[in-house]
């Protein structure tokens, strides 16, 4: 190809994307569909990776990425490809100007070589910010966002992600992950909003509202993509893309509500679970993809596969004899678009199936109608992307301040013996060590500049690690540092102990290798021996120790909890996480995060806070078996809060009525702080064994010292509903115990 690709690209760049035919701007979807031939329809249903149309081999692209126009013409002119994704297999972050050149050239090539000039839809995994665009704002991962217990802040973060993704000329974001985090072994646990249905579905609504708003035909909004329908996060083995065994009732009780909430909020696309449930791969499951998703939940948008998942019906699941049968199974089950992603076999096979009558044209028309509607809703027929001048806030201080706020509100104080924190005496000497102390990669995790997030060469410039942020507070003379231990290798402890002896306080920052999907599979939740030994060795000095944990999932720390004086849990707090954690340590910020999951005490002690009473039975026949390291919703503060003035408007709840609980919270301590009021309930008797308690509402508020605020929770009959044995959501009459802080009261549903 020599220099033809570059020359042709430069020639195209001066062309305006407004070359779109006028009839395409205003024509109805039905009229456009009638104009399309079968090849064009099948093309709309295919999505290929950037590597298919870029210079270089698919997983060894030129850096920076550049389009190969001959490859692009083949994809558009011959195969009529309707969607492209990703940064290219094995590639990393792309500069803003390069993104816009790529998207511009794709659309202009499409205008030149496609008959109907239907715009190409580009999609990207902008998981915690526009993480594949250089200089974008990176937020805490979803698990950290959930730990803020602040839906408004989560909506704001997602709105910024949408702004910066659209600034990159990309209108489709493969986010949010709405899988429930109830299997902590799972490598994508950090991508969830935690284990609780109510918390997760509240955050799901906020995320979709932030990404999409009320109108995606908007230069600052993108289409959200709900991931991964359904049950993906609960594999029995804990390994990614392995079988889940979930009853239909439990699917609807635990795993459907986040998706239903997002559908109600208007989410336009959904990505499908790569695994199987109860022996049937979801990509071949009509009952889930059409019966449940379409007919029961009312979803009308586009269903897209994950990476190469239709082919995996043959190679991994062995439910199809060949790829042609796999394509038929998936399309007839309800798939609208195939993330192929590295070839055009899907197009060829689906075209054969249509021509042979194996897949009716009516099913193709159904899928293509959804895809065209998505493109029209995004405004792509009128304006595929907008001038860069419309995005002056990209990577701005204003946006990084929101990221910093989210990181600060996510940090969770799990232990603070004798009020050790905050460290307000700046004359003291601090010794810092541990693998997460001086690493941005361990603060960000996977989906950061590269898929697995391990390449430090792409890190955002001028973002500080925990160590660098502590030095900013103390000066270099006040802070000494030694790695001490990597993630899995212990250093010379004699040297480390010698260096730590002269310090007044020790800060140990533990972490986990950035990873996701199959590369992130682990066999146990235990923290590595090297990191545990680092803590145990330094504990022999009898100096105050602050433990900072930045993990992808809750790693077992039981053996070291009693050896340290304070514990800050940072999750994966993003680019501003180092500054946020340091500011929490020195008292510039009062931690206000609360755990969005139950922190287990042992690898096999995975019991959720909303467990059944039978799970409380201990070996001595007492009811004390539930002993997590830290409970769901737990988190300490540098101040104290008191609840008072509880008043229920009634104790009887009828069909059309509500009960109002009024109460007050006072900051009785000496520091500003934020409290999360958490309302729980327990169904005293039910036809399906009830949980010992379940979250039904929450509110986060800020209080100055001595300040009191009055709050209220409104309870409706549906708040106490559950899925019965007939798979219907019902609320049964009877007694309900309400719990807020240390107060409990029984109300009655009639």
What would the DSSP string read from start to end of 496-550?
A: HHHHHTT-SEEEEEEE-----SGGG--S--BPPHHHHHHHHHHHTT---EEEEEE
In tens, the pLDDT along 407-419 reads 999 999 999 999 9
Question: Which position among 125, 196, 306, 336 bears the catalytic label?
Answer: 306
Helix axes 577-586, 466-474, angle to 10 degrees: 40
- Residues of the chain with pLDDT > 70, as a percent, come to 97
pLDDT at position 216 is 87
Q: What is the pTM of this model?
A: 0.95
Residue 12 has pLDDT above 50, yes or no: no
3-state secondary structure of 446: coil
| 3-12, 343-352, 464-473, range with the lowest pLDDT | 3-12
Residue 13 has pLDDT above 80, yes or no: no
Let me know how long the chain is. 750
Buried-state track 712-745, b at ≥16 Cβ within 10 A, e below 16? ebebebebbbbbbeeeeeebbeeebebebbeeee
- Which residue is it, tokens 């704002």? 137
What average pLDDT does range 422-444 have in this prediction? 97
In tens, the pLDDT along 656-696 reads 899 999 999 999 999 999 999 999 999 999 999 999 999 99
User: Which residue spans within 156-285 are E strands per DSSP?
Assistant: 172-173, 225-229, 269-272, 276-277, 280-281
In tens, the pLDDT along 71-119 reads 999 999 999 999 999 999 889 999 999 999 999 999 999 999 999 999 9
CA–CA separation, 679 and 694 (whole Å): 8
Is residue 504 among the annotated active site residues?
A: no
By C-alpha distance, which of 110, 111, 2 is closest to 66? 2
Contact 84, 125 (CB under 8 A): no
In tens, the pLDDT along 120-165 reads 999 999 999 999 999 999 999 999 999 999 999 999 999 999 999 9
CA–CA separation, 421 and 414 (whole Å): 11
Reported as a pLDDT band with limits 50, 70 and 90, residue 477 is: confident
Reported as a pLDDT band with limits 50, 70 and 90, residue 20 is: very low
Helices (H), ranges, 511-642:
529-539, 558-561, 577-586
Going from the N-terminus, what domains does the chain have, and what CATH number goes with each? 4-390 (3.20.20.300), 411-616 (3.40.50.1700), 641-749 (2.60.40.10)
The secondary structure element, H or E, covering residue 118 is: none
Residue 6 has pLDDT above 70, yes or no: no
Reported as a pLDDT band with limits 50, 70 and 90, residue 476 is: confident
CA atoms within 13 A on the CB side of 342: 11
pLDDT at position 5 is 45
Who contacts 657 (Cβ-Cβ below 8 Å, separation ≥6)?
650, 717
Contact 213, 156 (CB under 8 A): no
Residue 4 has pLDDT above 80, yes or no: no
Reported as a pLDDT band with limits 50, 70 and 90, residue 18 is: very low
In tens, the pLDDT along 715-731 reads 999 999 999 999 999 99
654 φ, ψ (degrees, to nearest 5): -100, 180
3-state secondary structure of 341: coil
What average pLDDT does range 437-441 have in this prediction? 98
In tens, the pLDDT along 492-512 reads 999 999 999 999 999 999 999
In tens, the pLDDT along 223-275 reads 999 999 999 999 999 999 999 999 999 999 999 999 999 999 999 999 999 99
Residue 23 has pLDDT above 50, yes or no: no
| 146-155, 209-218, 396-405, 686-695, range with the lowest pLDDT | 209-218
pLDDT at position 25 is 63
Residue 21 has pLDDT above 50, yes or no: no
Contact 135, 184 (CB under 8 A): no
Residues paired with 709 in a beta bridge: 665
CA torsion angle 199 204 210 213 (round to 10): -130
In tens, the pLDDT along 571-625 reads 999 999 999 999 999 999 999 999 999 999 999 999 999 999 999 999 999 999 9
Helix count and strand count (H, E) for the chain: 23, 28
Arithmetic mean of pLDDT over the chain:
95
In tens, the pLDDT along 49-77 reads 999 999 999 989 999 999 999 999 999 99
Residue 17 has pLDDT above 80, yes or no: no
Sheet with 412-416: strands ordered across: 412-416, 566-569, 545-550, 505-511, 430-433, 479-481
In tens, the pLDDT along 177-188 reads 999 999 999 999
Checking DSSP bridges between strand 269-272 and strand 225-229, what pairing results, if any?
Answer: parallel
């Amino acid at each position: 190809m020599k220099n033809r690709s570059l020359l042709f690209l430069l020639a195209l760049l001066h062309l305006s994307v407004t070359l779109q035919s006028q009839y395409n701007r205003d024509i109805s979807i039905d009229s456009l569909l009638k104009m399309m031939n079968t090849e064009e329809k099948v093309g709309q249903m295919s999505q290929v990776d950037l590597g298919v149309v870029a210079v270089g081999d698919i997983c060894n692209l030129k850096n920076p990425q550049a389009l190969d126009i001959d490859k692009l013409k083949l994809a558009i002119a011959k195969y009529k490809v309707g969607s492209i994704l990703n940064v290219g297999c094995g590639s990393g972050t792309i500069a803003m100007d390069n993104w816009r050149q790529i998207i511009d050239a794709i659309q202009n090539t499409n205008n030149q070589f496609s008959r109907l000039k239907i715009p190409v839809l580009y999609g990207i995994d902008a998981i915690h910010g526009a993480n594949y665009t250089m200089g974008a704002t990176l937020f805490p991962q979803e698990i950290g966002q959930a730990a803020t217990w602040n839906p408004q802040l989560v909506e704001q973060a997602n709105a910024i992600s949408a702004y910066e993704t659209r600034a990159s000329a990309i209108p489709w974001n493969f986010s949010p992950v709405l899988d429930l985090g109830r299997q902590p072994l799972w490598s994508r646990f950090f991508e969830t909003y935690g284990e609780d249905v109510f918390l997760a579905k509240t955050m799901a609504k906020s995320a979709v509202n932030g990404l999409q708003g009320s109108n995606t035909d908007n230069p600052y909004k993108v289409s959200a993509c709900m991931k991964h329908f359904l049950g993906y996060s609960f594999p029995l083995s804990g390994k990614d893309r392995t079988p889940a065994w979930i009853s239909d009732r439990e699917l609807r009780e635990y795993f459907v509500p986040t998706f239903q909430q997002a559908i109600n909020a208007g989410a336009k696309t959904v990505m499908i679970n790569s695994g199987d449930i109860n022996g049937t791969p979801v990509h071949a499951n009509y009952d889930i993809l059409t019966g449940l998703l379409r007919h029961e939940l009312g979803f009308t948008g586009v269903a897209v596969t994950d990476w190469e998942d239709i082919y995996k019906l043959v190679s991994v699941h062995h439910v199809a004899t060949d790829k042609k049968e796999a394509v038929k199974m998936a399309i007839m089950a309800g798939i609208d678009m195939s993330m192929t992603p590295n070839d055009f076999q899907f197009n060829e096979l689906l075209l054969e199936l249509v021509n042979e009558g194996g897949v009716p044209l009516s099913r193709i028309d159904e899928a293509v109608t959804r895809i065209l509607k998505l493109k029209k809703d995004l405004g792509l027929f009128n304006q595929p992307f907008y001038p860069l001048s419309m995005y002056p806030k990209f990577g701005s201080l204003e946006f990084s301040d929101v990221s910093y706020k989210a990181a600060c509100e996510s940090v969770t104080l799990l232990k603070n013996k004798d009020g050790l924190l905050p460290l307000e005496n700046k004359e003291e000497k601090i010794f810092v060590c541990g693998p997460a102390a001086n690493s941005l990669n361990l603060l960000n995790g996977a989906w950061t500049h590269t898929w697995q997030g391990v390449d430090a060469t792409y890190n955002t410039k001028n973002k500080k690690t925990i160590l660098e942020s502590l030095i900013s507070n103390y000066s270099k003379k006040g802070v000494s540092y030694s790695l001490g231990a990597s993630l899995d290798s212990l250093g010379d402890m004699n040297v480390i102990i010698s260096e730590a002896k002269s310090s007044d306080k020790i800060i140990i920052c533990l972490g986990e290798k950035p990873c996701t999907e199959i590369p992130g599979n682990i066999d146990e939740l235990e923290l590595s021996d090297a990191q545990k030994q680092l803590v145990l060795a330094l504990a022999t000095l009898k100096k105050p120790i602050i433990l900072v944990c930045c993990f992808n999932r809750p790693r077992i720390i039981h053996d070291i909890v009693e050896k340290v004086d304070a514990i800050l849990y940072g999750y994966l707090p993003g680019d501003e996480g180092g500054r946020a954690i340091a500011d929490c340590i020195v008292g510039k910020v009062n931690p206000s995060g609360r755990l969005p999951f139950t922190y287990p005490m042992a690898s096999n002690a995975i019991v959720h806070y909303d467990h059944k009473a039978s799970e409380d039975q201990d070996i001595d026949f007492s009811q004390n078996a539930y002993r997590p390291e830290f409970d769901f919703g737990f988190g300490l503060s540098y101040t104290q809060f008191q609840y008072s003035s509880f008043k229920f408007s009634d104790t009887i709840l009828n069909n059309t009525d509500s009960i109002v609980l009024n109460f007050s919270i006072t900051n009785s301590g000496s520091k500003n702080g934020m409290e999360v009021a958490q309302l729980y309930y327990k169904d005293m008797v039910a036809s399906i064994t009830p949980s010992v308690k379940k979250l039904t509402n929450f509110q986060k508020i800020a209080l100055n010292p001595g300040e009191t605020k009055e709050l209220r929770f409104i309870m409706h009959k549906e708040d106490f509903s559950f899925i019965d044995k007939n798979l219907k959501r019902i609320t049964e009459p009877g007694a309900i115990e309400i719990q807020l802080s240390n107060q409990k009261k029984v109300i009655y549903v009639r």
